[in-house]
Amino acid sequence: MLYFLNKKCPLKGKTMDKKHILVLDDEPELTNFLSDCLDSYEVKQCTKTDEAIDELKNSPEKYFGCIIDNDIDEVGGGVRFAKTIKSLKIVTTIVMFTGKPLQKEEEAVIRNTVDRLEKKPVSVKTIRTIFP
C-alpha cells in the first residue's frame, strides 16, 4: 500500500494512460522493432492502410502520432494514407519513413503532407528524438 503524508495514496491502483502511436508498415519485423523502440507509448501496429484508417476513425482522439512507411504495398502507399488522415482532420503528428530514393517533386509532395520525413534505415536514437 502506498502512503502519502501518512494517508493512503489516492492513485493506488490507477495507471497513467500512455500516449498512443499508430505504426503502419507492411513488414511486421519493422512494426515490432518500432514498437520496442517506443516502449513509453502504447503502439498499435497495422499492416494495411484500411485497417489503420478504421482504427484512427474509431478513436481519433487517442492517437498522438503515426509512423507510416511510404513504400507500403498498396495503391498510393503511405502518401495516400497521410492525405486521408489530413482530409479527415485527425490531429496527429505524421512521420513517414522511406527506403527508396525520391524525386524532388515526390519529396516535395511528401514533405507538404507529413510533419517529418526520414530515410531508412532509421536509428533508435532518431525514433526516440521524434517521439521522446
Options 3.40.50.2300, 3.40.50.2000, 1.10.1750.10, 2.130.10.10; which CATH number does 20-130 get?
3.40.50.2300
- What's the pTM? 0.80
The pLDDT mean for the chain works out to 82
Count of alpha carbons within 13 Å of 97, Cβ hemisphere only? 21
For residue 9, give the 3-state DSSP assignment.
coil
Tell me the mean pLDDT in the region 94-120. Answer: 87
pLDDT tens digits, 40-97: 999 999 999 889 999 999 988 888 899 999 888 666 788 888 998 888 888 789 999 9
Count of alpha carbons within 13 Å of 49, Cβ hemisphere only? 18
The single-letter code of the amino acid at 13 is: G
Q: Which three cell numbers stand for residue 119?
A: 530515410
Confidence label for 18 from pLDDT (cuts 50, 70 and 90): confident
Quote the Cα angle for 22-28-29, to 5°.
110
DSSP 8-state code for residue 88: T
